[in-house]
Structure 1
Amino acid sequence: MAKGEVVINEILCKGCELCIVFCPQSCITLSQGKINPEGYLLPVISEPEKCNACGICGQMCPDMAISVYRLKESKTT
């Protein structure tokens, strides 16, 4: 189960693939034909259920095009 959500700003992304290389869960891949207005191929979250919301993809992005949002864990009492 995904522990967060990764949002890629398609306008800022230049398709450098650093997010793909550094994702420890291998849940980001390069899209097949999805391009932004500048003509760059975009990464996609191909396996969101594997994402643990570690944030490494966002930290490695030189264009700050990735935001990672962690889901709050529900506390059982």
Structure 2
Amino acid sequence: MADHYIALNRGLQGFKQTDFTTGTSSSAGAGIDLRIIDGAGWTKKDALNALNAFRLFIETAPWVAAAGLDVKL
């Protein structure tokens, strides 16, 4: 099994495929990336549910603070 990473390049909106960096290793330059484990049975629906959950987490300032993330809200 391999991990696959998708990172949005900083300052881009994600409207074009070239706005992303993809591969089997995380880029040191990527501040935010998504990791999906290959062969673990994850579906597109699972990924979309996780992305929505992450959005909710980031929008909840006390959760972000409790996690110790340095995100300017």
TM-score (norm 2): 0.27
Higher strand fraction: Structure 1 or Structure 2?
1
Greater relative CO, 1 or 2 (CA 8 Å, sep 6+): 1
TM-score (norm 1): 0.26
Tell me which structure has the larger Cα radius of gyration. 2
